[in-house]
Structure formats: C-alpha cells, structure tokens
Structure 1
Amino acid sequence: MMSTKLDEALLYFKRRKGFEVLFLLFRKKYESLGRFGGSAELSSFTDGEIEEIAVFMGESPHHLMRKGKLLLSSFEHRLQQTRYAGITLYELLEAYWGKPLRSKKALKLEQEAARVERLETYKMLHPDLLPWFTYLESRTSDTHWIWRLLLEPDFADEMSMMALAFAGLPARMERYPLFSQRITGNPHALDLSEPRGKLWIHLLHVMADGQGPPPSKAEALNELLLKYNLLRDDIQNFVSQANLLAYDDECEHPVWRAAADEQCVMNMPMRELIKVNRVTAAAAAGAGHAPSVYVVENSGVFSALLDAVPDASLVCTHGQFKLAGLYLLDLLAKAGHTLFYSGDFDPEGLAMAVRFKERYGEQAQLWRMSIDDFHASSPVVELGDRESKLHSLLDSELGKVAQAVKETGRAGYQEGIVTLLIEDLRNRRMFNNV
C-alpha cells in the first residue's frame, strides 16, 4: 500500500517542474544540516513554479510569493494532510532523486572509512611499498592530495604501476625514459609533470627516508632519481672543469689526464661523470693538504681566470647548480679538497653560496663574498622586485652581506672583482694550507 502511495506521489511531483527546483533546495538543506530544517528561498522561482507549489500548499500564489520562502517543516506538515499522508519527506526525496540522502558530515565519514579500508587493501597487495603506505597514514600535509585520490576508480591501477616500477628499479644506471619504457611500455608514463610522475616521486622520496614534501626543483629531483640509478639527462646536464684528474677505482682516466697536461677545459656531461668514482686536483698536494679547488658560476669569469692562471683547478657551474656540478663537487669533497666558492652579489648568487656552504660544511669556503668585496664589485644594477628574495637570507651566514645588498638596492657581479680573484689564484698557495 505504501509503495503504491509513494509511486502516486512521485507521479504527482515529477509532473510539476516547480518541485524539481524546490526538492533540490530541500536536498541541499539536508546535506548541509543532516536534517530537514530551515527554509527554501523562493525568489528565483518563476510565476508558474510558484503557482504549482502554492496549489499543493493550499494557499494563493500571491501570498506565497510575498512570504518569499517556504519552511521545510510547513511542507512536511502539508504532506501529511494530503492523500500522501504517511510518507515522510525523507522517503519522498530519496525516491524522487533515486539515491540515498547523505549529509556532508555523514558522507565525509563514509569516504574516510572507505579510504582507510582501501589503504589497508593496498598494504596487503603491495607489501614492498609498506613504508610508503605507513607514511601516508601519518596524514602529513604532503599526503593530503594522495588521500583525495584513494577513492578514484583508476587509483588501484596506479598502485599496481607504482609497485611494478619500484620492483623494477635498475641495479645499474639507466636513463629515465628508457626505464619508463621498460616498465610501462611508454617512455613518458612517469613524466614528472604528470600526476603519476608526482606520485612516483613521492614514493621514492619516502622510501629514501625522506620526510615532508618531496623535492620540486629540477636538480633536487635529479639527485633523488640518481639514488635509484635513474638518470634523467646525461648530455645537456654538464659542468665545466679545468686541471682536475678522475679515476675509476685506482685507474686514472686518460682523457682527464690529457686535458690536465694540455691545460684544456672540459665540459663534462653526466654521461661521462658517472663513469668515474674519484676526482682530484691535478696540482700536487702540499704540506700534507689536498690542494684547493675553486668554483665559480659564471662562464666568462671562469675563462678570464684560466687566461690569467692556466694551471688553476677550477670548476664552473654555469648558473644554478645542476646535478653534474653537484656530482663533481661531491667527488672533490669526498677526496678531501677544500672548495672555494665565489658567486654574484644578488639574491640568486647569495642563495647559491648559502646552499653551497650548507652542503659541504667545513670543506666549503666562501671566496671574495664579504661586504668589502660587494662594494668592490661596483654594484650598479637595481634589484627592483628581486629585493624581496633577500629576506630569507638575512639570518644565513651571508646575512650581513644580504643586508648590505638590500640597503644599497643594487646587485654586484663577479666580473667586477675578477682582478681580485685572479690575484688570489696567483697566490693560491696560501689557500692550499687551509
């Protein structure tokens, strides 16, 4: 009997367009409050829709329009006065929309429970990724976007892909697109700009004992991938060096030796750097100390220094540190060399110097980067909007220099102190005793 009454009610209300609009407002009220309460605003209804609702409510359209709203409790009370008595508003709306009514709070709890259950399933299906799944359970800010994906229809396939890729990590160096092709059949399937690639990087970061957000800058990403023998770019990623020697175990590399003997500059791509495991300065050590190596980021300054001091052990990073530069400097630091770094007196150059010092600690020395050297560079280029980038450097080791640059409002560059750098190199024996 109730089923027949409900069918009749649906037939009545679905034939009248005004109730579709009204019932949508009722549903939104329930989703918001978790109960039927409040009122529905009628200002956006057409005259025809108002008339349909007014007929059901047993009042004039004019009177209903003047009120401007309809209480949900009034509608439910009127429903019990009609031939549809016994049908609740909840039952009516569920049948009308053909799906259960859920409050936002209830829906959120259901989804949360479903996500937890889904994660437990993945832990059983892919035990090799257990540390990553455990990290996801911590609900740190860097995991929120992954939690939102857990209920996506294709996320199970993504998890299978992550497990397959992790199990297939190479024992020896492999180029990243070729790895992606081998695992997925598509060299671009794990591109880092795509959601799957970002998921992959988060996994690798956590599995490498990383905490917090994974790296986002290119060179930090390259370093992370290199930990897993994955090489993104081994030709265009290069560093320039002069008067250095390289070894594969104890075997001296003949090309590096020939270049040092001829005092030739070599642009070393990652493709060649990964073939060696030790790098030293070509100059003989003195007084029991490994000779110092000098690092600049500007190619013009690099060439000018070599013009004046052709036998200096020099490295040029060509701007921001790339993986090749960091790889080479890591090998030099491992060999016991003190690394002297000179950069520009602008926000980017000072940030590079701070990063260099943080990475190499006591083996890193800042070279001609004092306040006096800044003024000696004859700064003339106005910072403009770039000045704000100095704020994060004020508490660093170069904080006083950053403050001087900020107060001046101008940037200084290595080219302005190149004669001082040349003078230091010509007297570099005093540096070799550091």
Structure 2
Amino acid sequence: MKAEEKQKLMQECLQYFRERPVYEKVFQKMRGKYESLGHIGGKVVLTGLSLQDKSQLGGFLQKDYTENQSVTISAEAFEICLSKSRFSDISLEELLDAYFGKKLTVKKEERRKKQEERDAFFAEVQSGYEDTTGAKWLQNTLKEHTTGYEILQQQYNNNPEILREILKYVFEAVKQLPRMEEKELLPVFAAKLTGDPHYFDASTVAERLLFIILSACWQETKDRELSEAERKNQIFYRAGILKDDLSNDTLVYGIRAWKHNGNLHKGIEGFFQEREPVRLTLRTIGTFGGVHAEREKIYLFENPAVFSVFVKKYPDCAAICGNGQPRLATLLLLDFLKENHSFYYHGDFDPEGLLIAQRLKERYGESICLWNYRADWYERYLSDVNLSEVRMKKLEKVYLPELLEVKMQMQKRKRAAYQEAMLDMLEPEKNEWITRSVK
C-alpha cells in the first residue's frame, strides 16, 4: 500500500474510533499495558459501561456484551478483529501511535532490565545445544523476528520456566531427526523423548515450535494442493515421524513395492498377484524404498466406485484412487512413481474436480495427462445437479489450457457431470498396450 493510501486509511480508522468514545477508555488502558509490558499484549478490563458503550464495542469486536458487568479485551483479539476489518493494513501499535499522536513508550530502565533478563534466559536455554539446528533457529528467530517469534514472546511472558522445558525437548527432538528409513509414530517418539506420549499433540506449543523448526530446515513452501493439516503431516513425514499413519491412505491396484533394504514387499506383492485393490496407509508407504507398476501408464481416479469398475474391467492396468482431494499418502505414492511412469487422471466435471486436476498438473507437470477433459464429454454426461454461485465462483481459479474447454462450457450450463456416468467411455487408449515393463 502506498504511503498516501496508508495515510488516508489511517485517517478513516481514527475517525471511526474517535466517533465511538468508549475506545478512548480501551486505548488508554492498552497504552498503559504497553508501558508496563514493553510490547503490545495482555488484556484490559472495562467496567461501568453504558449500553451504548457495550454496543460500540460489540460492533467492532463482533460480540454481544449487553449482559456483561465488565468487558475484557485482549490485545490479540483486538488485532485479529482489526486484521479482518477494512483497516487490515494498520497494526494495533500503529493505530495507538496515531491515536495519541506519539510513539508508545516504556520506562527505559525497566525495558533495559527486562531485555537483559530475556537475553540471559534464551542464552541459558541454548546451553548444551550451541551448534545444533534448534539453537541456530532460535538465534535467527530472536534476531529477525521470523515465524515462531510471537509464540516465544508470548510463552516467555506467560511462564519462562515452562518455555525453558519446551525448548529443551524441542531441541532434543530436532537433534534426533530426521529418520529417513524407519518412520516412527509421533506419540511413541514423544514418549521416548519426554515420557509423555501427548507432549507433541496437535496445537500444543511444543508441536507448533517443532513444526516451525522442521519447516525451516527444508525451507518448506506451501503445497497448494495440501491443506494445512496435510502439509504438517508431510513435514513430519520427511523427518521420519508419522502423525496420521492409518487414516491417511490411498487406494491402489496393480503396483509392486520394495522395502528400503531392497526386498520385495510380500504383502503388496500378494495383492498384485491376486489382482486385488489394496488400501495403503501412510505407515505402509513409509516402509517403501521403491514402487513400480508393470506398465508405464497409471490411471488416476477421483471416485472409488469408478476406480473399482475400471480395474475389474481392465485387470492388466495399474490404477490409483485419491478419493476426492488427494491426501498426503496419494501424493507421496505418486512422487515415488513419477520418475518411471506417466499418469492419466480423470475426475468429476465440477468446479472442485477441475481444481483437483489443475493442482495435480501443477505438481506433476509433463508426467500427468488430464484424460478426456473435453466439452463434448461434459455435454454428453451432463447431470441435473445445478451449481450454486459459490461453487461457480471457484471456476475463476481454473486457468490451465487443458481445462478451459470444460470450464467455459460449465460457465454456460452451470451444471456438473460426474465420473460415474462416464464409466462406459473410460477405457485405456490403444497405445496403452504398447508399453515397456518397468522393474
């Protein structure tokens, strides 16, 4: 945002809050908190408020305070509401500076003393881990205020001793990772390290910090096709830790697998020899050193029913089913296979289905063919399911040339076409049978 635009937005923001007198009380108390804490944070409590005061607070903070005798507002909650408003480009500290016409200040001596105590605390925490990945991450985070800094600051202010224990265990965890071949369940890993299998449970401070450090180790960027939970699973998986080992799975047919020691995976081989589909969990995939199919082409499906009919009708083919949005197990298996195989993907002709196809194409590029995404197929198998405006809006994100033909027709018709109706037409092309055997 340009300086002129920021200044104009700030004036609008100040006008909004000055027209509502109750915020004078809020901001005065927040300034007092800043002076005592040395940073934006903490909570303020307001009492003796009129109904008009409560209404003004509720309008911005999206809460009903009508029946409250007192109102408690945290700086964090206020900043969240500010970030979701039309004043999202303005921070709470900037707002308070502008509101009072001067920079927020704290008593210099108190601030210096607190900074010295803080520096001494974090230096002591690193004792014994000076040259480790964890300690280097901590040093950089404290210096550059990168991801994780706010967690450290908040936890230090709340209880330094608890933070000391958490960082010691997180440093030790990072020191023992990665484990590339033998994957281990997170609760088992946590129990061995801390004595508590739930120490690194989801959303705990320990789990959040461990995830941040592991992400930094690989300089991990977000996979657009993964949800935040799936991305977290992927990071831990790369470190040799299984967070969601059994429910994260994929359905496959016609593949063979080898363990890290080079031995054939007899369980998977049994399903291959019997020509039966098998559901592979993340735990099982973690034992693979290699995966291959007998033929070069592998067919990918969004829908399990379509997958089932296809492999029964064409038992010599290899196929994988993502069951909707591909989860980490599906993507890891495809990552194994992409070097020696090409993929043919087919899914539903609806906005969500086109986006899944697009994300797979973005990830696997020339290794994947979007199979029969044609306007005539869309018209032939058009269903009676009307697409809502919310779903239609998702089509704006579809940009791949291979999908534009179907996208434009869908924008006209505003209806979906589903895989199940196309079963009779989903058959391997002739050149599928002129392929080399991969071993």
Short-chain TM bin: 0.5 to 0.7
CA distance in 2, matches of 1:180, 1:263: 39
Task: Flag the 1:320–1:429 CA change in 2: closer, same or farther, 3 A.
Answer: same
> Quick check: 1:382 aligned with 2:389?
no
1:192 and 2:202 are equivalent in the alignment: yes
TM-score (norm 1): 0.66
Specify which of 122, 132, 135 is matched with residue 130 of structure 1. Answer: 135
Change (3 A) 1:206 1:430: same
Residues 243 and 212 of structure 1: CA distance in aligned 2, closer, same or farther (over 3 Å):
closer
Partner deviation per Cα, 1:303-341 (whole Å, 9 max, x = no partner): 11123212211111222222221222111113x101111
Partner residue of 1:85? none
Indicate whether 1:270 and 2:282 are aligned.
Answer: yes
Alignment partner of 1:393 out of 387, 391, 398: 398
Change (3 A) 1:28 1:366: closer
CA distance in 2, matches of 1:32, 1:277: 56
2:343 is matched with which residue: 335, 339, 346? Answer: 339
For 1:242 and 1:393, the matched residues in 2 are separated by: 30
How far has the Cα of 1:397 moved from its partner?
Answer: 6.3
Alignment match, 2:78 = none
Alpha-carbon spacing, 1:407–1:192, altered in 2? closer, same or farther (3 Å): farther
Alpha-carbon displacement from aligned partner over 1:9-65 (angstroms, at most 9, x marks no partner): xxxxxxxxxxxxxxx99x85984999xxxxxxxxx89xxxxxxxxxxxxxxxxxxxx
Q: Which residue of the other structure, out of 227, 244, 249, is the alignment partner of 1:238?
A: 249
1: distance between equivalents of 2:223 and 2:121? 23
C-alpha spacing 1:168/1:278, structure 2 compared with 1 (3 Å): closer
Provide the C-alpha distance between the structure 1 equivalents of 2:355 and 2:201, rounded to a whole number of angstroms: 28
Structure 1 spans left out of the alignment, 5+ residues:
1-23, 35-43, 46-102, 284-290
Give the structure 2 partner of residue 370 of structure 1. 374
- Aligned mates of 1:396, 1:142 — CA distance in 2: 40
Q: 2:330 aligns with which of 325, 329, 340?
A: 325
Partner-residue secondary structure (3-state), 1:279: strand
Alignment partner, residue 293 of structure 1 = 298
Structure 1 distance, partners of 2:288, 2:172, is 30
Look up the match of 2:157. 151
2:256 partner SS = strand
* Structure 2 Cα separation of the partners of residues 340 and 217 of structure 1: 27
Per the alignment, residue 280 of structure 1 pairs with 292
**Structure-1 separation of matches of 2:223 and 2:293:** 37
Q: For residues 45-88 of structure 1, give each alpha carbon's deviation from its aligned partner in whole angstroms, at most 9, with x where no partner exists.
A: 9xxxxxxxxxxxxxxxxxxxxxxxxxxxxxxxxxxxxxxxxxxx
Per the alignment, do residues 140 and 160 of structure 1 end up closer, same or farther by CA in structure 2, a change over 3 Å counting? closer
For 1:106, give the aligned amino acid: V
1:40 counterpart residue number: none
Residue 259 (str. 1) matches residue 286 (str. 2): no
Q: Which residue of the partner structure matches residue 163 of structure 1? A: 171
| Structure 2 gaps, min length 5 | 1-24, 36-47, 50-102
Q: Cα deviations across residues 260-319 of structure 1 (Å, max 9, x unaligned)?
A: 333222222233323321111124xxxxxxx11111121000011123212211111222
Q: Is the 1:174–1:231 contact (alpha carbons within 8 Å) kept by the matching residues of 2?
A: yes
Instruction: Answer yes or no: is the 8 Å Cα contact 1:135–1:206 preserved in 2.
Output: no
Q: Which amino acid aligns with 1:268?
A: L
| Aligned length in residues | 334
Between the two proteins, what is the percent identity of the paired residues?
26
Partner of 1:106: 106
CA shift, 1:230, in A, is 0.4
Please tell me whether Structure 1 or Structure 2 has the larger radius of gyration of its CA atoms: 1
Is the contact between residue 292 and residue 337 of structure 1 (CA under 8 Å) also seen in structure 2? yes
**Which structure 2 residues correspond to residues 30-179 of structure 1 after superposition, within 5 A?**
31=32, 104-106=104-106, 110=111, 113=115, 119=122, 122=125, 126-127=129-130, 128=132, 129-136=134-141, 137-140=143-146, 143-153=149-159, 154-169=162-177, 171=179, 172-179=182-189
> How far does the alpha carbon of each residue in 1:94-140 deviate from its partner, in whole angstroms, 9 at most, with x for none?
xxxxxxxxx95226993994666655555556432134225423334
Inter-CA distance 344–150: structure 2 relative to 1 (3 Å threshold): farther
Corresponding residue number in structure 1 for 2:13: none
Partner AA of 2:208 in structure 1: K
What letter corresponds to residue 295 of structure 1 in structure 2?
L
The aligned residue for residue 37 of structure 1 is none
- Aligned-pair CA distance for 1:235: 2.6
2:426 maps to which of 407, 414, 421: 421
Give the letter for the 2:356 counterpart: M
